[in-house]
Structure 1
């Protein structure tokens, strides 16, 4: 199979391995090998069950990020939503996992949600039981995130019960890895504006430090992640005296039909 045909299909919006196999008339295993080669070449980003085109300039959009490890992110979001009381004011950072948290709040009544992200905003637009406060500012479109001095002006004047922060990477003892200093600044502002800070990051993010900027976490924080952690990531979390981990079960990989035990 020519990799260009596979890349063209992914670019055209065909994402799942089974759909790509049908589209190209090849086996799923051939598609998986091709996607692995394309990922190594930096042309696609693998997701749970398929792939999406690699972003221009190396930065994923929040929609693309939402497709990566989505089952684990949903488990993390479920656990995060359990921490929210009906009388809480909640800060939701921009990001895919925080958008999943917002989805789980949409049927609730009582909490006030203040968000810097278009993902959480979209999830709560029709949630009549939620008082939704949007932080204005300059929109960083790929991330669906508000940044800049308008954001600072709001976050310096609120006091929330709990803030949920997303992460491109988390290095325990150092902070949250970010693709821009503006995004890092907003995360730091949210930690200072809330009585409790919770980082929501799937296991692939722990120890990741590919981006050039950092948001520092000034005090104790809770980390909600999944149990796909490798040994090094577990040690790093355990060695950080400021981190209280909440580890949720990672979703089981789907079984291949016809295979047993």
Structure 2
């Protein structure tokens, strides 16, 4: 790690976030040089890229929802389209919490005859803009950080249905193929969704491969399909065990 990389990490630890413009001015280098530095540090798992800069990765708390929405937004849009292509008109489905699941909702606006339940209050108005889509919102505790509904009441809402397909996300994955999240109340809901769906799609971009979260959701063995944006060599043997779509 070079001296500038070490200084960037120290600034991130001190301030919680660094910006491309601020670092370029501080080091008197080009924006392109800083973007390359941040990409290198992100590849090492030392930082996470967000729009305009980077933040420290955390194993205990998630980064802000607006920052996550801009993180790998092009990849998430592609994942959303790829997931939507697997969903037939007239299906019943569940869409979970998270910015990638929100991208799936956007990609479903032209589907017909859908019955969708969601605990994602960011996805609900997107889905309801489709007049051919019936939208059900679960009950549960509202998590202000990301407008997600979680907890036992949410899980109880899910148990009333058997979905043709469910789309869920996760906050982190490890090389054993285990999926993780930060909130146990969300984990309970995701596990219930898997149990009550004929097929479950995991929609996750490759930034999840380098992150850590404490609460285990499930294994890739429990998932019917994995939609992501690129392969990671060390992860390829696990991905090959499932139906994996790269986009």
Where on the TM-score scale, by shorter chain, does this alignment land: which range? 0.7 to 0.9
1:246 aligns with 2:211: no
CA contact (8 A) 2:175 2:234 kept: no
1:74 aligns with 2:77: yes
CA contact (8 A) 2:180 2:218 kept: no
Name the counterpart of 2:238: 236
Name the counterpart of 1:150: 153
Q: Which has the higher contact order (CA 8 A, sep 6+)?
A: 2
Name the counterpart of 1:182: 185
Alignment CA distance shift 1:201-1:220 (3 Å): closer
Stretch moving more, 126-135 or 215-224: 215-224
Name the counterpart of 1:59: 62
For 1:125 and 1:11, the matched residues in 2 are separated by 36
Name the counterpart of 1:170: 173
For 1:174 and 1:35, the matched residues in 2 are separated by 27
For 2:66 and 2:118, the matched residues in 1 are separated by 17
C-alpha displacement at 1:171, in angstroms?
3.5
Q: Unmatched 5+ residue regions in structure 1?
A: 249-261
RMSD, aligned α-carbons:
3.6
C-alpha displacement at 1:167, in angstroms?
1.3
Alignment CA distance shift 1:45-1:237 (3 Å): closer
For 1:231 and 1:38, the matched residues in 2 are separated by 19
CA contact (8 A) 1:38 1:44 kept: yes
| Superposed counterparts of 1:41-60, under 5 Å | 45-47=48-50, 50-51=52-53, 58-60=61-63
Alignment CA distance shift 1:175-1:34 (3 Å): closer
1:88 aligns with 2:91: yes
For 1:235 and 1:174, the matched residues in 2 are separated by 10
Per the alignment, in what secondary structure is the counterpart of residue 112 of structure 2? coil
Per the alignment, in what secondary structure is the counterpart of residue 199 of structure 2? strand
Per the alignment, in what secondary structure is the counterpart of residue 194 of structure 1? coil
Partner residue of 2:222 out of 219, 222, 226: 219
Partner residue of 1:132 out of 115, 135, 139: 135
For 1:85 and 1:33, the matched residues in 2 are separated by 41
C-alpha displacement at 1:62, in angstroms?
2.9
- TM-score, length-normalised on structure 2? 0.78
C-alpha displacement at 1:27, in angstroms?
3.1
C-alpha displacement at 1:61, in angstroms?
2.7
For 1:224 and 1:25, the matched residues in 2 are separated by 40
For 2:118 and 2:175, the matched residues in 1 are separated by 25
Partner residue of 1:105 out of 108, 132, 138: 108
CA contact (8 A) 1:95 1:144 kept: no
Number of aligned residue pairs: give it.
236
Partner residue of 1:198 out of 195, 201, 213: 201
Per-residue deviation, residues 218-260 of structure 1 (Å, max 9, x unmatched): 7352111122x2210112323x4xx221122xxxxxxxxxxxx
For 2:233 and 2:133, the matched residues in 1 are separated by 40
